[in-house]
Structure 1
């Protein structure tokens, strides 16, 4: 595998909370994909703080992923086209859909993610990879 790009992001959870207040909760619907939204609502119902942490980590991952693939938040990278879900083991995995999935597939890009949150911050790190061999580095000899 060859590294295509790397992205990282850190989010202050209180800023996400402020956006949720300002948008009367619509921010979650704008940012989260359908599976993420279902999980968010279940977590929020049990604990508002855990629901907010879930939203903050997923927002952070989308930002980090957009940096790793070099698009930023521009088509085909959209908020809801990328979801961070968990394997049964708890390992986070990325799932792209629609035009983003097609864009990634056409370029042979896959990605790995790690994320974490504490009371005040959520952080994520994404490595986008391709199966292609990396080009050789040019070297000079003196």
Structure 2
């Protein structure tokens, strides 16, 4: 069953400006160390780096919307982390406050399942998050 749905659209140029203006301070406030390390390994150009971060920014905003809270007391940017499987499929992990908020949405006897898709076409980046709950299988 679906327990949350979120969507977000980000102007990559806005992220470019934040990176130029605030640099490491912006990165530390919004992205985990793991996300920052992956950006360094995957994005060769300034525009590619901004697109990488913009997609993840959109994913975090979409996740917070799916939680029904937005970014704030119940989920902060660094409570949400975007990684990927070996296949390249993006995965979203919830930590701290975001994990507790997600757990409160999931009915007893169920486990959360997080679905994420991200896309970009300069100057826009977009992400959709679907939060669902599946019955726990015992045995």
Residue 38 of structure 2 is matched in structure 1 by: 39
Q: Contact 1:104–1:110 at 8 Å: present in 2 too?
A: no
Pairwise CA RMSD of aligned residues? 1.7
Residue 115 of structure 2 is matched in structure 1 by: 112
Alignment map for 1:14-93 (pairs within 5 Å): 14-44=13-43, 46-93=44-91
Separation in 1, partners of 2:88, 2:6: 21
Alignment map for 1:89-104 (pairs within 5 Å): 89-104=87-102
Separation in 2, partners of 1:95, 1:54: 17
Structure 1 alignment gaps of length 5 or more:
133-142
* Bigger Rg over Cα: 1
SS at match of 1:131: strand
Q: State TM-score, norm by structure 2.
A: 0.84
Measure how far apart 1:105 and its partner are: 3.1
Structure 2 alignment gaps of length 5 or more:
107-111
Separation in 1, partners of 2:36, 2:23: 15
SS at match of 1:112: strand
Q: State TM-score, norm by structure 1.
A: 0.82
Separation in 1, partners of 2:52, 2:114: 20
